Structure 1
Amino acid sequence: MRKPKVLLSWSSGKDSAWALHVLRQRGEVEVVGLVTTINEAFDRVAMHGVRAELVEAQARAAELPLWRVPLPWPCSNDDYENRMRALIETARAAGVTAFAFGDLFLADIRAYRERQLAGTGLEPLFPVWGTPDDTPSLARAMIGAGFRATLACVDPRQLSPTFAGREFDMDLLADLPPGVDPCGERGEFHTFCHVGPIFTTPVEVRRGDVVERDGFWFADLLPEPGSH
């Protein structure tokens, strides 16, 4: 029997990368594509602010097609849901039967995704789901497994902007203030994953300017010259 075909929601960060790692290790489904919402106005990943060309490089390194979902700017919730519905129709026509997410423990986010997929024919999957108590060991497991990521976005209401552009490593975990989730699951920070066992080759990046936009701090990650 053929394995069920699954799309994976791909933010470009470590949690998405870990979810792909887990799904591949379990071997119960076939991940057939990475789904990324792209801000049409800036050609960057929605929320994370990562350049679309870097996400395309990730997809090539993971040997998976990138399913881009273009979003207008500004983007209303209706706009978002309409674009996602169109994606789901395309996925069903391609024989996809499930949609996986790298959510860790936020029950309201999980419930929203389940509502959005209800009645669509696509089953929601949460391969790395756990509790807030799991994330300290999960963060260490990611680093121990060889994943490397850079903090691309920081919410200054929860974490100092000085963390923008830092590497997600053991030193960073040690420096996080009490109350900040080690995986940034409450939106404290977002990452860009550039090395890991899911990739055939590293996605070479360097840090550009760190800037404030719309109340968040972003480290502009740039492709290394000559990298593809």
Structure 2
Amino acid sequence: MNIAVLFTGGKDSVFAVHVLREKGLSVKVLISIVPSYEYSMLYHKPYPQVLMLQAYSMGIPLETATVVNPERELTVLDEVLSRCVRRYGVSALASGAVLSRFQRERFEKIALKHGLEAIHPNWGIDQKTYLRTLTRYGIRFIIQSITTMGLPHSMLGRVLSMEDVERILVLSEKYGFNPSFEGGEAETLVVDAPLFKYRLECEGSVEERSEYEAFFNIKKCWLTPKN
């Protein structure tokens, strides 16, 4: 089975790639849809240069497309997926969806249109232990944006430790946000993982828009050899 994976560069899509590879499946291409606007219900808004470095580090081809109109989000994915079917002979589309039926149903609709199997390797994973699972697995990530009450802005832009993860779990109980950020409370960016041949380094600055909204704006990123 040749698989195209919807890829954002965040923890969920990177973990999905690893799970698929561990099952012996062939990840032929990563697909990244990049919204040009601020908020999207369907897609994470990644940095294109970061996506390219992550894909290079894993040795997997990357296909990207920019969407400028929210009403064309599925249309753009449809066009890219059609290209990937021709170029890479993919027979399945995978996503990193964990809890969002909104995302899952729309991705499955597009997959069905192209006669592809839809796969969601992270679906239904326990929300309270997911961040622990990722950290123990060796996936290292930073928080790139925060849009909720209760997450400290001091966590932006630095690689989270297990101590940070435990703090997030405590705060999620106190403030009521989803501990794996499936409600859009935060977005993540993976800087290292078992499949990465190089580690991603990022420099940037924190932009605080309100008490509940802040971003780590990346100014520079590069790959460095792993020990």
> What residue number does 2:146 align with?
154
Counterparts of residues 87-126 of structure 1 (less than 5 Å): 87-94=80-87, 95-126=89-120
- In 1, the alpha carbon distance for the partners of 2:15 and 2:83 equals 25
Match of 2:124 among 105, 121, 130: 130
Q: CA deviation at 1:93?
A: 1.6
Which letter does structure 2 place at the counterpart of 1:91? C
The 3 A distance-change label for structure 1 pair 119 and 189 is same
Which letter does structure 1 place at the counterpart of 2:92? A
CA offsets per residue over residues 96-143 of structure 1, 9 Å max, x none? Answer: 111100111223322222223223212110111115xx1222211210
Q: Secondary structure at the match of 1:204?
A: strand
Match of 1:60 among 56, 59, 66: 56
Q: CA deviation at 1:211?
A: 4.3
Percent of residue pairs bearing the same amino acid type: 22
Residue 33 (str. 1) matches residue 29 (str. 2): yes
Gaps in structure 1 of 5+ consecutive residues: none
- In 1, the alpha carbon distance for the partners of 2:165 and 2:218 equals 21
- In 2, the alpha carbon distance for the partners of 1:158 and 1:208 equals 20
Gaps in structure 2 of 5+ consecutive residues: none
Aligned residues: 215
The 3 A distance-change label for structure 1 pair 225 and 147 is closer
Counterparts of residues 3-14 of structure 1 (less than 5 Å): 4-14=1-11
- In 2, the alpha carbon distance for the partners of 1:156 and 1:181 equals 10
- In 2, the alpha carbon distance for the partners of 1:110 and 1:219 equals 28
Which letter does structure 1 place at the counterpart of 2:189? F
- In 1, the alpha carbon distance for the partners of 2:207 and 2:167 equals 19
The 3 A distance-change label for structure 1 pair 226 and 17 is closer
Match of 1:81 among 69, 74, 77: 74
Give the TM-score normalised by structure 2. Answer: 0.83
> What residue number does 2:181 align with?
184
Q: Secondary structure at the match of 1:203?
A: strand
Give the alignment's Cα RMSD to 1 decimal: 2.6
Give the TM-score normalised by structure 1. Answer: 0.83
The 3 A distance-change label for structure 1 pair 115 and 39 is closer
Which letter does structure 1 place at the counterpart of 2:74? E
- In 2, the alpha carbon distance for the partners of 1:160 and 1:227 equals 28
- Worse-superposed segment, 86-95 or 7-16: 86-95
| Counterpart contact for 1:148–1:167, Cα < 8 Å | yes
| Counterpart contact for 1:17–1:198, Cα < 8 Å | no
